[in-house]
Structure 1
Amino acid sequence: MKAALSEKEGLASLVLRLRAEGISDNRLVAAVEQTPRSMFTPPQYMDLAYSPRSIPIECGEYMEGADLSLRLLHNLEIEAGQRVLEVGTGSGFTAAALSRIVERVVTVDRYRTLSQLAAQRFSRLGFSNIVVETGDGQERSPQEGTFDRILVGAAFQEMPRLFAERLVSGGKMIAAIGEADQPQTVVRLTKIGSRFEKEDLFSVRFQPLLKGRAAVL
């Protein structure tokens, strides 16, 4: 009973913080409520599951703080029936929350360990509309189809124009742009013809997007 109460209190606190920022998307709140972050959080950091703090996970990576994770999803402007590509599976929480709203999620991570652990969590929770892949999210073939939305949990040094061909017309992408040792800007890119229309959203500090599949881990 105590764990359930803690989960509810954490979610309630998160919702209040988001509303203070002007984010009151009931679909997102419901998606998070149905997808407990504690199930994606390492046991030793369970008390931080709904906090704004980033949380260390396997392979030297981090799970984004709850506030940032929901802010990114809010700005992705997802809708029912969409196909979403996530580059950077991490713990798997973001893909799981997305899958509560959209039709299909393809999530890619360069670390086999993270992909396998996320897939195990999805299986345990009964998700059937998430495809988990291990590899380089930048090297997907256009023949694999296009997406309505793309979310990248890492930073590009410059505009990621190669992703334009992977979006449908009018499709949107959320990514961070900037140098690795500097604050980066999260942008929303909307595909107009063969180019992107860019909107600056807010500042973050993300790790740079690395090329290739990890040789170990």
Structure 2
Amino acid sequence: MSDAAERKMQFLFALRSRGVTDSRVLTAMEKIDRGAFVRGLFEPRAYEDMPLPISCGQTISQPSVVGLMTQALRVQPRDKVLEVGTGSGYQAAILSQLARRVYTVERHRRLVREAQDRFDALGLTNVTAMLGDGSFGLPDQAPFDRIIVTAAAEDPPGPLLAQLRIGGIMVVPVGQSDAVQHLIKVTRSETGLEYEELRPVRFVPLVEGIGQE
């Protein structure tokens, strides 16, 4: 077995052992090579189950957390998905394998450009990276079937909840940035919002406004 094949096998085994069991999610994570989203010094560690630094002081999330968040989202093939916090573009690329359309919003111009270049290089035509303040969502494209937030808010942001379709699911880390955060799954029903606490996590804070770079 080649080194690359062995690394991929170990990568998928690590995901399974940490609770990522949905076959569609595992297939998407096998197909989208995390190595394409990690550059420079940390490239050799792309297949380890750990968060890694990227440009603009941001991080690419731990693969098992990406898998668990994606699994909790329960994306269906006809879904339109909003991601807040593009970062490297890795999470959006995985979602592109599961959904009809993915819109991803990022406040750092450089990250938007780099992510879109990666999507183009991988031939992912159903995902669009946009510069914007993700805490306000994308009203022009709302409502969304699924919303995923990859930065921690003190509460699930109201504008995002308002853009969630009835029957829709949002997965968001909630909590103070320097304290314990919890991954929350919000389901919108005819009668209101249902909240389910999934697990403790640690994410960069959700910041309003557009970044400097």
Give the TM-score band, short-chain normalised. Answer: over 0.9
Using the TM superposition, give the Cα deviation of residue 44 of structure 1 relative to its aligned residue in structure 2, in angstroms. 2.0
Alpha-carbon deviations, 1:83-134, whole Å to 9, x = none?
0000000101111111011100000100000000000011111111011100
Q: C-alpha separation between the residues in 1 aligned to 2:179 and 2:12?
A: 30
Q: Please tell me whether the aligned partners of residues 161 and 196 of structure 1 are also in contact (alpha carbons under 8 angstroms).
A: no
Letter in 1 for 2:156: M
Matched, 1:115 2:112: yes
Q: Please tell me whether the aligned partners of residues 50 and 65 of structure 1 are also in contact (alpha carbons under 8 angstroms).
A: no
Of 80-89 and 157-166, more deviation after overlay is shown by: 157-166
Q: C-alpha separation between the residues in 1 aligned to 2:14 and 2:37?
A: 21
Unaligned runs of 5+ in 2: none
Aligned to 2:90: 93
Aligned to 1:145: 142
Number of residue-to-residue matches in the alignment? 213
Q: C-alpha separation between the residues in 2 aligned to 1:137 and 1:167?
A: 14
Q: Please tell me whether the aligned partners of residues 161 and 195 of structure 1 are also in contact (alpha carbons under 8 angstroms).
A: no
Letter in 1 for 2:70: L
Q: C-alpha separation between the residues in 1 aligned to 2:48 and 2:176?
A: 27
Using the TM superposition, give the Cα deviation of residue 141 of structure 1 relative to its aligned residue in structure 2, in angstroms. 5.1
Q: Give the one of 32, 35, 38 matched to 1:38.
A: 35
Aligned-partner SS, 1:138: helix
Q: Please tell me whether the aligned partners of residues 20 and 64 of structure 2 are also in contact (alpha carbons under 8 angstroms).
A: no
Aligned-partner SS, 2:76: coil
Q: Please tell me whether the aligned partners of residues 81 and 146 of structure 2 are also in contact (alpha carbons under 8 angstroms).
A: yes
Unaligned runs of 5+ in 1: none
Q: C-alpha separation between the residues in 2 aligned to 1:207 and 1:101?
A: 25
Aligned to 2:6: 9
Percent of aligned pairs with the same amino acid: 34
- Tell me: CA distance 1:41–1:194, structure 2 relative to 1, closer, same or farther (3 Å): farther
Letter in 2 for 1:126: G
Q: Give the one of 185, 190, 193 matched to 1:196.
A: 193
TM-score normalised to the size of structure 1? Answer: 0.92
- Tell me: CA distance 1:193–1:23, structure 2 relative to 1, closer, same or farther (3 Å): same
Q: C-alpha separation between the residues in 2 aligned to 1:134 and 1:171?
A: 24
Cα root mean square deviation, aligned: 1.7
Aligned-partner SS, 1:9: helix
Q: Give the one of 195, 203, 206 matched to 1:209.
A: 206
Using the TM superposition, give the Cα deviation of residue 66 of structure 1 relative to its aligned residue in structure 2, in angstroms. 1.4
Using the TM superposition, give the Cα deviation of residue 143 of structure 1 relative to its aligned residue in structure 2, in angstroms. 3.9
Aligned to 1:187: 184
Aligned to 1:168: 165
Aligned-partner SS, 1:182: coil
